[in-house]
Amino acid sequence: MPPLLKTILLAALLAVATATPAYTLEEFQFDSPAQEQEFRDLIAKLRCLVCQNESLAGSQAELAQDLRNEVYRMMRAGQSEDEILDFLVARYGDFVLYDPPLKPSTYVLWFGPFVIIGIAAFFMLRAVLRRKPAGDDDMSEAERERLRTLLGADSAADGEPKKPT
C-alpha cells in the first residue's frame, strides 16, 4: 500500500473511532434540572456489569440501558436513592457499586493498602534505626584538630555577612 494511502486510511479510521457519538440522556424526561442531576449522579455510582470498567452513565451496553431504565422508573416512582441502590445490590451484589461498602468481606480492600504501608514503614524504620550513628571516634586527634580549624575559619568568614556585590 502506498504510504500516502495508508496515512489517509489511518486518519479516516481514527476519525471514525473518535466520532462515535457520546451517550446522552435525551430519552429521559425530568421535572427539574435538580432531578436530572440526581439521576446522573446515581447512575455514575453504578457499575455496568457487562463492561465492568464503565459506569451505568457511560455505558452503551444493552444491560446498562435496562438498568438505567429501571433506575429512572424507580426514581419517578418516588423511591429514594438508598432504596434504589439497595434494590440493585440485592440483585447484582456490592460489585454494582463503584464505592464498595465497609464490611468484613471488604476489609482487605479498604485496609490492605494501609497494612502494607504499615509493614513497609516498620521495616524502613528498623533499618534506619539500626544504622550505626556516624561516630566521631573514627577520627584521629589530628583530624579533629584540622576539622576545628576548618570550621572555625568557616564560621569566622560567615560571621561578617557578605554584602551582595
Partner 1 sequence: MAMSKSVRYLTPLIVFAGLVALLVWGLGQDPREVPSPLIGKPVPQFSLPALEDPNRTVTEADLKGKISLVNVWASWCSSCRAEHQALMALSEVPDFQIVGLNWKDEAQDAMRVLQLTGNPYDLNGYDPDNTVGIHWGVYGAPETFVVDQDGIIRYKHIGPIDREVWEKKLQPLVSELRARG
Binding site for partner 1 (CB under 8 A): 49-50, 52, 62-63, 66-67, 70, 89-95
Q: How far is the CB of 74 from partner 1 (least distance, A)?
A: 11
Q: How far is the CB of 133 from partner 1 (least distance, A)?
A: 21
The residue count of the chain comes to 165
Minimum distance from residue 161 beta carbon to partner 1 (Å): 50
| Of residues 82 and 141, the one with the C-beta less far from partner 1 | 82
Asked if 8 and 51 touch (Cβ cutoff 8 Å), the reply is no
| Residue 89: CB minimum distance to partner 1, A | 7
Helix (H, G, I), strand (E, B) or coil at 55: strand
Residue type, 144: R
CB 55 within 8 A of CB 68: no
Nearer of residues 112 and 152 to partner 1, judged by Cβ: 112
Of 23 and 92, CB closest to partner 1: 92
Q: Which is nearer to partner 1, 52 or 165 (CB)?
A: 52
Please tell me the distance from the alpha carbon of residue 111 to that of residue 104, in angstroms, as a whole number.
11
> Quick check: 88 and 67 in contact, CB under 8 A?
yes
State whether residue 47 is helix, strand or coil. strand
